[in-house]
Structure 1
Amino acid sequence: MTIKAVLFDFSGTLFRIEPTESWLRAVLTEAGVALSEPKLTLAAEALERAGAQAGGALPAEAPAGELGDLWAVRDHSAERHRAAYTGLSRQVRLPDPALHDALYDRHMAPRAWSPYPDAAEVLAGLRERGVAVGVVSNIGWDLRPVFRVHDLDPYVGAYVLSYEHSLQKPDRRLFALACEALGVDARDTLMVGDDRRADGGAAALGCGVHFVDHLPVDRRPDGLRPVLDLIG
């Protein structure tokens, strides 16, 4: 297999969202809401169990009822994505109801995301080898500003975001759109992601697939480097 293009997932692959407690603390500070340290810690733990932070932990218990139905298609549109995550957040009592939307807004801020330590090195290495790069993400908002702020946008030739197409991985059509945008055949393309079900859907199109571990940034310093070895 001659790899002419590499598709990357976003969250847990190239970037990692800030820890739940930092996320909550930043929103409380910006809103001018005071919360004791013990209460802040408890609220952060509850939000994490609820799966309220997009890009963070999945819900400890699968959402049920209308919220469960919404959760299943959350990445199909910006409206569904916000409704699903604020719905999970609202399961946790916070000092001000407006904080739930503020938490959602915070998770879209470029400063809430950190690239993995080897992301720039690997993307630059692919460019040097003449390999095209695309980003294929299940998401409900425009992540391009995150790449621009962290100086990774110049390496990306195409962004295929689920909410812009009303499709979500593992639907093979999303990967096909990325290959088409890059002008490559799926059989010459490698998909790199952290979700075996969602990102593994690229295999149905004929892409190669490589998985990385969704770990905190400081615990995965070189998880992307094997991609360069696969390219040769």
Structure 2
Amino acid sequence: MISSSPQVTDVGGAPRPSAVLIDFGGVLTVPLRQAFGALGEDLGVDADEALRVLATHEGARSALGEHEVGRLDDEGFEDAFAAALSEVGGRRVEPRGLLPRLGAHMELDEPMVDLVRELRTAGVPVALVSNSLGRDSYARIDLDELFDIAVISGQVGIRKPSRRIYALACEGLGVEPEHCVLVDDLEHNLVGAARLGIEGILHRSAGETIARVRERLALPASATP
């Protein structure tokens, strides 16, 4: 049920956010470019090649979309991604283990994880809203500790930037969309959320994002050592 409790407003009458939706890969972890670059080095390809292939190769892009909504399993995605890398790079890439190898490079950005803990301690509702990539994507974190709810694309069959996935997160938190802020590293995900009235913070660095989240939710700047 959506909460109807009074909301704090900014000067001018706009509602101040009272809940946070937050992405995983590239926000609570190191940047995706860094992780895919390290995977490319593992595979003996140019540091930017793996991510570029995933973004531009039709077969890889299609497989990613199917995987993110749960219609293609890890092995099916690995097969398609490896085939695309092999085609573009001119050398065979072994598919098995591609996702775990990528996951090994998705190191947590600890200040961002600490921000989530800070929000929970302050009583701010927090939802993970993430496009899944591999069945073990979230093995590094305790979902129950960090989030009130986790809305993961492969589990709900909807991926960002669909408005429906953000609506599910808001409903799960019991908060109206206009009282939420989304932290994401991809502009088009913020655009999708904005269609519901969700404020966006484009993540570029932990320091900048933490300061902006604290400011928008009126949290003390010194809350986390």
TM class by shorter chain equals 0.7 to 0.9
Q: Does 1:161 align with 2:161?
A: no
Q: How far is the alpha carbon of 1:138 from its aligned partner? A: 1.3
2:46 is matched with: 45
Report 1:8-157 matches (<5 A): 8-16=22-30, 19-20=35-36, 22-23=38-39, 43-45=44-46, 48-49=48-49, 51=50, 57-59=51-53, 62-64=56-58, 66-77=59-70, 79=72, 82-90=75-83, 91-92=85-86, 93-94=91-92, 99-108=94-103, 111-142=104-135, 143-148=137-142, 153-157=144-148
Q: Distance in 2 between matches of 1:229 and 1:196?
A: 21
Instruction: Say if 2:211 is the partner of 1:223.
Output: no
Contiguous gaps of at least 5 residues in structure 1:
27-39, 52-56, 214-219
Give the secondary-structure state (helix, strand or coil) at the position aligned to 1:122. helix
Across the two proteins, how many residue pairs are aligned to each other?
A: 195
Aligned to 1:188: 179
Structure 2 CA distance for partners of 1:69 and 1:182, relative to 1, 3 Å: same
User: In structure 2, do the counterparts of structure 1 residues 23 and 205 end up closer, same or farther at CA, with 3 Å as the change threshold?
Assistant: same
Aligned-residue sequence identity (percent) comes to: 23
Structure-1 separation of matches of 2:61 and 2:108 = 31
1:160 match: secondary structure: strand
- 8 Å Cα contact 1:134/1:182 also seen in 2: yes
Who is 1:176 aligned against? 167
Aligned Cα root-mean-square deviation (Å): 2.8
One-letter code aligned to 1:12: G
Whole-angstrom distance in 1 between the partners of 2:175 and 2:55:
40
Cα gap change, 1:78/1:228 in structure 2, threshold over 3 Å: closer, same or farther? farther
Task: Tell me the distance in 2 between the aligned counterparts of 1:86 and 1:192.
Answer: 31
SS at match of 2:172: helix
Is contact 1:125-1:228 (8 Å) kept?
no
Instruction: Please report how far the alpha carbon of residue 78 of structure 1 lies from its aligned counterpart in structure 2 after TM superposition.
Output: 5.6
Structure 1 residue 153, shift from structure 2 partner: 4.8
Unaligned runs of 5+ in 2: 1-14, 219-225
Q: What is the Cα deviation at residue 44 of structure 1?
A: 3.2
List per-residue Cα deviations over 1:57-104 (Å, max 9, x = no partner): 34387223x55543444411162665345323233324xx6x322122
- Shift of the alpha carbon at 1:157? 1.0
Distance 1:144 1:70, change over 3 A: closer
For residues 128-175 of structure 1, the C-alpha deviation after alignment (integer angstroms, 9 at most, x for no partner) is 321111111112444342212xxx751211111111122111110000
- CA shift, 1:21, in A, is 6.2
TM-score (norm 1): 0.71
TM-score (norm 2): 0.73
